[in-house]
Amino acid sequence: MNKHNNTFCSNTKKDVRSDSSDNQDNQNCFQEINERSFFFKSPSRCDFCIDPPKSSCNEKCKEERCKNFLTCHRVLKSIIRITTKCTQLCSHCAFEASPIENKFMKIKDAQDINLFCLNNGIFVISIMGGEFFCHPLWSQIIQILSNKMKFVRLVSNGDWASNKKITEQLINIMYKHPNIKISLSFDKWHTNQFINTAISICEKKDLNFDIECKSEGVENTIVPVGRAKYKSHFFSGVAKYCSSHRYTILIDERGTISYCPFGLWRYDCIQNFLNGGFSKRFKFVGETFRDAEIYSCNNCIRLFNKLGEEFEKDLDSC
């Protein structure tokens, strides 16, 4: 496997820097990312497609010109986790995020992830944690990841609303980047302590936001991974969550790519595809899982407990 390309963006060796250098550094990095993504033509939807072929579907796909582009289930999407640190300790959290967790995405990895997305036809991303603002460099990281994306969903529990400075920073970023929509989790798993304040700030400031829809907050979206391990539900015994999210990958803080949106089956690193070429790998892994005799999440997790370590062993070089 290729190692990280350490020559990219030389001003990012320090991962923790003062706010005063942010703007200039971001400008330099955007310029460098944009230059490096300029020469690569995005792969077409067909390059990623793992659905059974339909007659003449290739000719009908309008790709980005389609009015349903952002909601099309065949558009490759990425969930990007920037930290495992959180303000809350929810019992359903697959990532086991908590106030004492300490995985943080580095600036260099955020730049690489953005380049990976641009050069591999990913323009729809969800940024999450943990809770995004627990990352000390959250404002830089979010802006880097959002560079040239068509749609960015920023998932949050709304606790930022208790802090004036963070709220102001967030409002500024959202005004500057209209491609970002904040998605507030408001369900029985979260404390919801500041959620009403967060909603009223979003309304008052006319921010682009939504409130997690009810169907996302109920048991049948719970996959028993991480802290939800003992929350097995009827759904996870009879269905595979990923079968309706086939075109969603998870990228973690280090740039590791998982097949499972909950972080199981890590199979490669973004650093191997900074200049494109991910579609083949995605298709191979997607088709393998699609055709494997895995009938439910519970079934899949049992298999992962047996084979996961062996499956993920090459990722140490990421």
Q: Does 154 bind ligand SF4 (CB under 6 A)?
A: no
Q: Does 241 bind ligand SF4 (CB under 6 A)?
A: yes
Q: Does 228 bind ligand SF4 (CB under 6 A)?
A: no
How far apart CA 199 and CA 156 sit, in angstroms, is 11
Q: Does 160 bind ligand SF4 (CB under 6 A)?
A: no
Smallest distance, ligand SF4 to C-beta of residue 259, A = 6
Which CB sits closer to ligand SF4, 51 or 210?
Answer: 51
Q: Determine the distance from the C-alpha atom of residue 285 to the mean position of all C-alpha atoms in its chain, rounded to a whole number.
A: 18
Smallest distance, ligand SF4 to C-beta of residue 86, A = 21
Task: By CB under 6 A, name the one of 95, 189, 209, 262 that touches ligand SF4.
Answer: 262
How far apart CA 128 and CA 107 sit, in angstroms, is 16
Category of 121 on φ-ψ map: left (φ > 0), alpha (ψ -120 to 50) or beta: left
Query: Which residues lie across from 183 on neighbouring strands?
Result: 155, 210
Q: Where are the alpha helices (DSSP H) in the chain?
A: 22-38, 45-48, 57-60, 107-119, 138-146, 164-176, 195-204, 234-238, 278-291, 297-311
Smallest distance, ligand SF4 to C-beta of residue 224, A = 8
The pair of structure tokens assigned to 250 is 């998870």
Which CB sits closer to ligand SF4, 149 or 242?
Answer: 242
Which CB sits closer to ligand SF4, 23 or 305?
Answer: 305
How far apart CA 294 and CA 189 sit, in angstroms, is 28
Smallest distance, ligand SF4 to C-beta of residue 248, A = 10
Q: Does 81 bind ligand SF4 (CB under 6 A)?
A: no
Give 81's Cβ-side CA count (13 Å radius): 26
How far apart CA 143 and CA 121 sit, in angstroms, is 19
Q: Does 94 bind ligand SF4 (CB under 6 A)?
A: no
Q: Determine the distance from the C-alpha atom of residue 183 to the mean position of all C-alpha atoms in its chain, rounded to a whole number.
A: 13
How far apart CA 51 and CA 246 sit, in angstroms, is 9
Q: Does 108 bind ligand SF4 (CB under 6 A)?
A: no
Contact at 8 Å (CB) between 266 and 256?
yes
Report which residue type is found at 314: D
Q: Does 155 bind ligand SF4 (CB under 6 A)?
A: no
* Distance from the first to the final alpha carbon of the chain: 8
Task: By CB under 6 A, name the one of 174, 195, 242, 269 that touches ligand SF4.
Answer: 242
Which stretch in 4-12, 258-266, 268-276, 306-314 sits in contact with ligand SF4 by CB under 6 A?
258-266
Q: Does 264 bind ligand SF4 (CB under 6 A)?
A: yes
String of contacts with ligand SF4 for each residue 277-296, x by CB under 6 A: -----------------x--
Task: By CB under 6 A, name the one of 233, 240, 246, 266 that touches ligand SF4.
Answer: 240
Q: Does 301 bind ligand SF4 (CB under 6 A)?
A: yes
Residues interacting with ligand SF4, by CB under 6 A?
A: 223, 240-242, 259-260, 262, 264-265, 294, 297, 300-301
